[in-house]
Each structure stands twice: as structure tokens, then as C-alpha cells.
Amino acid sequence: MIETISHITLIVRDVQKMGHFLRTIFDAEEVYDSSKKNFSLSYEKFFIVGGTWIAVMEGDPLPEWDQWGSP
């Protein structure tokens, strides 16, 4: 049984727009912005929403999957 969630990572095309969405809709607190130093593969920001860390990373969308889990 899951008791807690450490973080959730979302891959998005526009980190700035997603950050605005999280701050506006969920009153998210921005706690990290990698714009000056990328330690991961791409630009990212971290937010806290209701005690859960939300990592937003810039990237290409995943391929679409059919109803049976195949690309």
C-alpha cells in the first residue's frame, strides 16, 4: 500500500507556462529553477503543491500508446 508520494515528474514542452499554471491553479510554491545550471538532461523547475514535490522538465512528448499498451 502506498503511504506517501515523494514527487511527481511532468515532461512538458514549455516549463514557464506549466509553472504559471501550477502557481495560478494550485497555489504552487516554486523551489528550484535550473535555468542557470542544468544538472539533469534538460531545463526543469520544482514546485511544492500540497506537500508534494512536482518536478516539471522540458522535453518531447512520449509516443502515443494504444489501448493495449503498445506504441
Residues marked active site are found at 44
CA 1 to chain centre: 24
Residues forming a β-bridge with 36: none
Rounded-to-integer distance, Cα 55 and Cα 44, Å: 7
